[in-house]
Amino acid sequence: MNTLRSILLVLINILKSRTRLPLVGSAGGGQVKPVMLILLLLIAGFTCPEYSGVKAQPNLRTAAHHYLTNGELDKAKQAIDKACEHELTMNDAETWYLKSFIYKDVYTKKESADPDSPARIVSIESAEKAIDLDSERKYSDLCKELIKYLASSIFDDASNALNKGNHKFAIKSYEQYLEYIKIPEPDKQDASALFYVGYAALQDKQVEKAKGYLKRAINLNYDNPIAYLYLGNIYWSERDIEKSLNILEKGHQRYPDHKEILITQVNYYVELNRIDSLEDKLKKAIELDPKNIELYLMLAQVYERISEVDDNIEKYLPKAKVIYKKAILLEPNNVRANYNLGILYYNEAVNLINRLDYDVDFVAIGEIQDKCVELFKESLPYMEKAHKLAPDKKNTLIGLEGIYYGLGENEKSNEIRQKIEIIEKKK
């Protein structure tokens, strides 16, 4: 524009002066006719870069910057979008850097409440493009900081979505975050984000995805016991038993005081009937949760189960009784604790008789019988309590019927028998 203006001023002066102009370089002072000069100047003017538009695009970028400075974001966007499309500026790192900045402002000033903000994504992708084009590394650091800032905002939006239970959106956003954060920090693996994707995927029943992300988080040593718990549960639900037990054990080793991991292990070992592994785990669980009566009941039942092996009766049956009594101290009106202890004594008595060999002599039989009477008498108060607390529980009635019969209280035994028959008729 300046060149054209200059030419016009010259033309105007020529016309004003009506003088003959000397030829440049003519020694004899030859003269150019004004008309010719005007023509020459016009030709020069039409071919000047400003007039031909060759230098228009840097001005678009400048304009974009100008609009940005003035807060005219829409105009800034238009200008920079055009600059990004033009062949002369589309490969400049500066163009894309400016675009990322403009769109960043669009996001922060107009779309920050929108967790799906398109401007934010454009900004990030523009910054990435700028980095790719930035052979002189003039803009890369700035772009990386911008990406980190925006990626972090995506993480926050993902977390909000997760807190609100919008799991699909959370997954999408966390995965975006993980993708974008690699641009400024290619070696970074955000274990917490990996975990949260895993968690969200689990809630959304995308089990394979959940499994993959939880594994990655754990492999990065993510510091949260829940990761082990979730992954253990997933393996268990897929009946991948050994993997489940292994990961839970790893979690337990790392977090020995974590109650939920321990209890999950206990439950799984019980289901697998791996009784031998349970005693220590249950004792530890009780230490951590001393008022949890279920743990006492579990431990007592483990002892009962171990005592099934004859060699262990002497050692483990008394332990079971001690634990049941502790449970009853904790909750005197717990039906299961009372019933379980009552039936333990009852079973012990009956089993003593049933284990008698046909060749046993009468003296030995007498001793066993005396022991059984004692055991029935120990059993009775707990069974009667259990019956009082849950009068319709059939198993308690059957036990009571047997105890009364064993102790020779045939009338009471018959009364209980009638109650059992009433219950059976109701079914």
Partner 1 sequence: MSRRIIYILIIFNIQYSIFNIQSLAQPDAKQAVAHLQTIFIYRFTKYIEWPLSSKQGDFVIGILGDETLILNEMKKMAKGRKAGTQDIVVKNYKTIDDISECNILFIPRKESAQISSVIDKIKGYSTLLITEKEGMAKKGAAINFVGINIKLNFELNEANAKKYGLQVSTNLSQLAIIVD
Binding mask 284-303 for partner 1 (x = CB under 8 A): --------x-xx-xx--xx-
Rule CB under 8 A: is residue 108 a binding residue for partner 1?
no
Identified binder of partner 1 from the candidate list 90, 270, 313, 330, rule CB under 8 A = 270
Degrees to nearest 5, angle at CA 37 with 36 and 40: 90
Determine the 3-state secondary structure of 21 from DSSP.
Answer: strand
360 is written with which tokens? 């046993």
Distance, in Å, from the CA atom of 145 to the CA atom of 408, rounded to the nearest integer, reads 88
263 is written with which tokens? 């209890």
* Shortest CB 58 distance to partner 1, Å: 34
* Shortest CB 123 distance to partner 1, Å: 15
Give the helix ranges, DSSP H, for 134-190.
Answer: 140-163, 167-180
Rule CB under 8 A: is residue 189 a binding residue for partner 1?
no
Relative orientation angle of helices 293-307 and 313-330, to the nearest 10 degrees: 160
Identified binder of partner 1 from the candidate list 101, 155, 255, 316, rule CB under 8 A = 155
* Shortest CB 406 distance to partner 1, Å: 4
Closest CB to partner 1 among 55 and 394? 394
Distance, in Å, from the CA atom of 188 to the CA atom of 179, rounded to the nearest integer, reads 10
Rule CB under 8 A: is residue 260 a binding residue for partner 1?
yes
Closest CB to partner 1 among 95 and 100? 100
Sign of CA dihedral 63, 64, 70, 75: positive
Binding mask 364-403 for partner 1 (x = CB under 8 A): -x---xx-xx--x------------------x--xx-xxx
Rule CB under 8 A: is residue 166 a binding residue for partner 1?
no
Q: What is the 3-state secondary structure (H, E, C) of 198-219?
A: HHHHHHCCCHHHHHHHHHHHHH
Backbone φ, ψ for residue 32 (5° rounding): -95, 135
Sign of CA dihedral 207, 209, 215, 221: negative
> Which spans of this chain sit near partner 1 (rule: CB under 8 A)?
149, 152-153, 155-156, 159-160, 162-163, 196, 199, 226, 229, 260, 263-264, 267, 270, 273, 275, 292, 294-295, 297-298, 301-302, 304-305, 308, 343, 346-347, 349-351, 353-354, 356, 358, 360-362, 365, 369-370, 372-373, 376, 395, 398-399, 401-403, 405-408, 410
